Structure 1
Amino acid sequence: MTGIPQQAGPCVVVAGGGTAGHIEPALALADAVMRLRPDARVVALGTERGLENKIVPARGYPLELIPPVPMPRKPSPDLLKLPLRVRESVKRTREVLDRVRADVVVGFGGYVSLPAYLAARGRVPIVVHEANAKTGLANKVGAKFAERVAAAVPDSGLAGAEVIGIPLRQSITALDRAALRAQARAHFGLHPDAPTLLVFGGSQGARSINNAVSGAASAFAQAGVGVLHAHGPKNTVAVQAVPGAPAYVPVPYLERMDLAYAAADAVLCRSGAMTVAEVSAVGLPAVFVPLPIGNGEQALNAGPVVNAGGGILVPDEQLTPQWVAQNVVPLVADRARLAAMTAATLGTGHREADEVLARIVLEVIGK
């Protein structure tokens, strides 16, 4: 039949669009599948408005667009339109699965996964991966008829889930921070030797984090601590340079997270599942500031690292310049404490989760 690609190896369809927290594990899995089975093909599902439109093609994978099915958080007129939206999206997704000759669908949650699970049910084997400490609706649905279910942490809410961690890019899991340190410091214009804090609040930044950390700039300077602060492309951070003190470097966005991690001795950040996993994998002591909205999952995500002694948790409303000056500044300047926290953090990571999940997926296809 014309128009249908011919391939010797299996076709893996990944559904994880919307946010980086869903897309990055999907692409890390894709990379691992291709390492294990170079004859395989990986196709990603996404929507027109999702971040996947930028990320997926840049990583070299084909992207198939389907209609989104966002779940209304509260009763609204949109709720009445939901069945029609689901039906249309499932129909379009089935067309994609048929056209690419999918051998398995791997879902990572979010509004791309729900139609993928429903379209694949009874037709194509399903594997579910849950990254968060609290399972979302899409993965709860998908897990009911999945061949295998994996989770990042125990007690995610999915019965019988195999705990494997979160699939991460090899540029993160294989990162040698010490070997890259000098290059990373030079890349960002940081002091080559001073203790340095990395600050970021997600791809769009976080105003509360920006205000609290930049408000403590003088305390960092007085303590001889440098700062690399990603404030988000829509925000600005103005900090007055202190002669003789390590630089406080504000940047809109971090294109090279590997270099940012290598440049840092500690990190202050949100505690999304992907962030916690990456920080743990590279061994950075962390001050986690959970997003104050949502279902509380960000605090739960940070729990294992904090309980192990590798991180500190501070509620968003308590994060002030005074708190940063009293708690974060002395932490970053204390090399012995940082070393102990690094050892604890590394003990909570799952560097091999990408290949573990890839082998699960290939086993399901093999059946």
Structure 2
Amino acid sequence: MSKPVKGTERSAAGKAPTVVVAGGGTAGHIEPALALADAVRRLRPDAKVVALGTERGLENTLVPARGYELELIPPVPMPRKPTPELLRLPLKVRDAVKRTRAVLERVGADVVVGFGGYVALPAYLAARGRTPIVVHEANKSAGLANRVGARFAARVAVAVPGTPLPKAEVVGIPLRRSITSLDRAALRAEARAHFGLDPDVPTLLVFGGSQGARSINAAVSGAAKELADAGVGVLHAHGPKNTLVVQEFPGKPFYVPVPYLERMDLAYAAADAVVCRSGAMTVAEVSAVGLPAVFVPLPYGNGEQAGNAQPAVDAGAALMVVDAELSPAKVADLVIPLVTDADRIAKMSASAVGMGHREADETLAKIVLEAAGA
């Protein structure tokens, strides 16, 4: 008897469903998976949620911190160009699928939910024909893993209209409730005190994804004097593998560099505007909290980050700067006039309202539980 029938029987017998989420590697894959996990637990407190990950992914820190079980499997990276590694790929896939299938059987998976990336592909192949699959794609241009998984998924959820996957249902991107319910104004004083920022000056948030971004680091830190002279405070997450030394300017607002932001809710609350990359998760969060943005899309890949940012730019909630054009002079000429213009900030913030899907986490959770027969 097939695994989908087993999932239905588990639910019919009143047993707790087991949901396996595959979203390891980067925060852009992990955070939506964890937001979904939280929503599943709210809807079904008896549900068991297990996350799949790899030995070197951020999930090793993020998943246990959120209270979820983590099972490690081999990653299946896809070479972008013909290399000797490509010849070894079939063996790696076969090994990863075998080990992933063993995990799914051991935990009693009733549904597998994939968010793309290195972890999702072996999860989809291991679950195929045995366990219901739900795919979530955050970008308008789907990655290889999700293109494969969508072919035999029970349900396919996407963040934006026009994503070229079969049976796609637009649900948005699952976000943490600490983000979707964030009252930035109410938390501003606490947030600025938490990071050691000046309480009463325009404040710029800067980050480049979980690992930082060297071009953003160099451009914004290079404009430290201009920012200080303009009376702008800065909270700058430079990435755990990067260092950032910024000259202090006595009597000026603080420029606070940190390796990583564990409390993104407080970082958003502390800021009046943000300079950042435009991964799908980042754009969704920044828009959800109504934070005016200067997006600097990653200059690699298939242009998906520029595509992620464009709706916010079109709505008047953000500006976009090409990575190659980002410099200290650009920060001085473009960013400083923005962050110091309270009226413009208010208009851009208002433009972000209603852009996202604030209930995407529970919408996806209901799809997942239905697929599991729960």
TM-score by length of 1: 0.95
User: What's the counterpart of residue 6 of structure 2?
Assistant: none
Alpha-carbon distance in structure 1 between the residues aligned to 2:166 and 2:84: 33
2:43 aligned with 1:36, yes or no?
yes
Alpha-carbon distance in structure 1 between the residues aligned to 2:130 and 2:353: 40
Alpha-carbon distance in structure 1 between the residues aligned to 2:167 and 2:315: 24
Gaps of 5+ in 2: 1-12
User: What's the counterpart of residue 172 of structure 1?
Assistant: 179
- 3-state SS in 2 of match to 1:255: coil
Question: What amino acid is aligned across from residue 351 of structure 2 in structure 1?
Answer: A
Give the direction of change, closer, same or farther, for the CA distance of 1:126–1:228 in structure 2 (3 Å limit).
same
Alpha-carbon distance in structure 2 between the residues aligned to 1:263 and 1:304: 24
User: What's the counterpart of residue 182 of structure 1?
Assistant: 189
User: What's the counterpart of residue 317 of structure 1?
Assistant: 324
2:160 aligned with 1:153, yes or no?
yes
Residue number among 117, 121, 126 corresponding to 1:110 in the alignment: 117
1:180 CA displacement: 0.8
User: What's the counterpart of residue 7 of structure 2?
Assistant: none
Residue number among 85, 88, 101 corresponding to 2:95 in the alignment: 88
- 1:111-130 CA-partner distances (Å, limit 9, x unpaired): 11111111111111110000
Alpha-carbon distance in structure 2 between the residues aligned to 1:146 and 1:200: 35
Question: What amino acid is aligned across from residue 321 of structure 1 in structure 2?
Answer: P
Alpha-carbon distance in structure 1 between the residues aligned to 2:164 and 2:199: 45
- 1:206-249 CA-partner distances (Å, limit 9, x unpaired): 11111111121222122221111111223233333333322221
Alpha-carbon distance in structure 2 between the residues aligned to 1:47 and 1:255: 21
CA RMSD of the aligned region, Å? 1.6
Gaps of 5+ in 1: 1-5
2:30 aligned with 1:23, yes or no?
yes
Give the direction of change, closer, same or farther, for the CA distance of 1:94–1:234 in structure 2 (3 Å limit).
closer
User: What's the counterpart of residue 64 of structure 2?
Assistant: 57
2:221 aligned with 1:221, yes or no?
no
Alpha-carbon distance in structure 2 between the residues aligned to 1:67 and 1:44: 14
8 Å Cα contact 2:155-2:167 kept in structure 1: no
Question: What amino acid is aligned across from residue 285 of structure 1 in structure 2?
Answer: P
Runs of 4 or more consecutive aligned structure 1 residues displaced over 3 Å after TM superposition = none
State the number of aligned residues. Answer: 363
Q: Give me the identity figure in percent.
A: 77
Alpha-carbon distance in structure 1 between the residues aligned to 2:266 and 2:245: 23
Question: What amino acid is aligned across from residue 82 of structure 1 in structure 2?
Answer: L
User: What's the counterpart of residue 278 of structure 2?
Assistant: 271
User: What's the counterpart of residue 126 of structure 1?
Assistant: 133
- 3-state SS in 2 of match to 1:232: coil
1:156 CA displacement: 2.1
Alpha-carbon distance in structure 2 between the residues aligned to 1:237 and 1:38: 43
Give the direction of change, closer, same or farther, for the CA distance of 1:347–1:236 in structure 2 (3 Å limit).
same
1:345 CA displacement: 1.3
Alpha-carbon distance in structure 2 between the residues aligned to 1:305 and 1:86: 38
